[in-house]
Amino acid sequence: MRFDQLPTPCFVVDVERIEHNLKILGGVIERTGAKIVLAQKAFSMTAMYPLIGQYLNGTTASGLYEARLGHEEMGKENHVFAPAYREDEIDEILSICDHIIFNSFSQLEKYKDRALQAGCKVGLRVNPECSTQIGHEIYDPCTPGSRFGAKRDQFRPELLAGVTGLHFHTLCQQNSDDLSTTLDAVEERFGEFLPQMEWINFGGGHHITREDYDIAKLESCIKRMQDKYGLTVYLEPGEAVALDAGYMVTSVLDLHENGMDIAIVDTSATCHMPDVLEMPYRPPLYGSGEPGEKAHTYRLGGPTCLTGDVIGDYSFDQPLQPGDRLVFGDMAIYSMVKTNTFNGMPLPAIALKEMNGDCRIVRQFGYEDFKVRLA
pLDDT digits (tens, 9 = 90+) for 231-259: 999 999 999 999 999 999 999 999 999 99
pLDDT band for position 372 (cuts 50, 70, 90): very high
**What is the spatial distance between Cα 260 and Cα 240, in angstroms, rounded to a whole number?**
37
pLDDT band for position 87 (cuts 50, 70, 90): very high
**What is the spatial distance between Cα 146 and Cα 179, in angstroms, rounded to a whole number?**
19
Radius of gyration of the chain from its Cα atoms, rounded to whole angstroms: 22
Residue 322 domain flag: yes
Residue 325 domain flag: yes
Q: Indicate whether 155 and 179 sit together in one domain.
A: yes
Decide if pLDDT at 109 tops 90: yes
Domain end point (choices 181, 208, 242): 242
The pLDDT of residue 138: 86
**What is the spatial distance between Cα 103 and Cα 150, in angstroms, rounded to a whole number?**
7
Instruction: State mean pLDDT over 70-76.
Output: 98
Q: Indicate whether 210 and 279 sit together in one domain.
A: no
The pLDDT of residue 112: 98
User: Which residues lie below 8 Å from residue 103, measured CB to CB, with a gap of 6+?
Assistant: 81, 82, 83, 84, 125, 147, 148, 149, 150
Decide if pLDDT at 315 tops 90: yes
The pLDDT of residue 356: 95
For residue 284, give the amino acid letter.
Answer: P
CATH code of the domain in which 135 resides = 3.20.20.10
Q: Indicate whether 353 and 205 sit together in one domain.
A: no
Q: Indicate whether 197 and 344 sit together in one domain.
A: no
Domain end point (choices 217, 242, 267): 242
pLDDT band for position 135 (cuts 50, 70, 90): confident
Angle at the Cα of 207 from the Cα atoms of 205 and 211, rounded to 5 degrees: 170
Residue 18 domain flag: no
State the residue range of the domain holding 309. 3-11+246-331+339-373
Supply the DSSP string of 153-212, one letter for each residue.
GG--GGG-TTEEEEE----SSB-HHHHHHHHHHHHHHHGGGGGG-SEEE--S-B-TTSTT
Q: Indicate whether 149 and 277 sit together in one domain.
A: no
Q: Indicate whether 237 and 309 sit together in one domain.
A: no
pLDDT band for position 279 (cuts 50, 70, 90): confident
pLDDT tens-digit map of 162-188 = 999 999 999 999 999 999 999 999 999
Angle at the Cα of 21 from the Cα atoms of 140 and 72, rounded to 5 degrees: 80
Q: Indicate whether 145 and 276 sit together in one domain.
A: no
> In this structure, how many other beta carbons lie within 10 angstroms of the beta carbon of residue 213?
18
User: Which residues lie below 8 Å from residue 61, measured CB to CB, with a gap of 6+?
Assistant: 40, 67, 69, 70, 78, 79, 80, 81, 97
The pLDDT of residue 134: 78
Q: Indicate whether 258 and 208 sit together in one domain.
A: no
CATH code of the domain in which 324 resides = 2.40.37.10
The pLDDT of residue 40: 98
Instruction: State mean pLDDT over 276-299.
Output: 96
Residue 17 domain flag: no
Q: Indicate whether 220 and 346 sit together in one domain.
A: no
Q: Indicate whether 348 and 237 sit together in one domain.
A: no
Instruction: State mean pLDDT over 55-79.
Output: 98
The pLDDT of residue 277: 94
Domain end point (choices 191, 215, 242): 242
Residue 78 domain flag: yes
Q: Indicate whether 187 and 289 sit together in one domain.
A: no
**Number of domains the chain is built from:** 2
Q: Indicate whether 274 and 201 sit together in one domain.
A: no
Decide if pLDDT at 375 tops 90: no
**What is the spatial distance between Cα 87 and Cα 102, in angstroms, rounded to a whole number?**
14
Q: Percentage of residues in the chain with pLDDT exceeding 90?
A: 95
Task: Return mean pLDDT, the chain.
Answer: 97
Question: Burial letters for 226-251: b for 16+ Cβ neighbours within 10 Å, e otherwise?
Answer: beebebbbbbbbbbbbbbbbbbbbbb
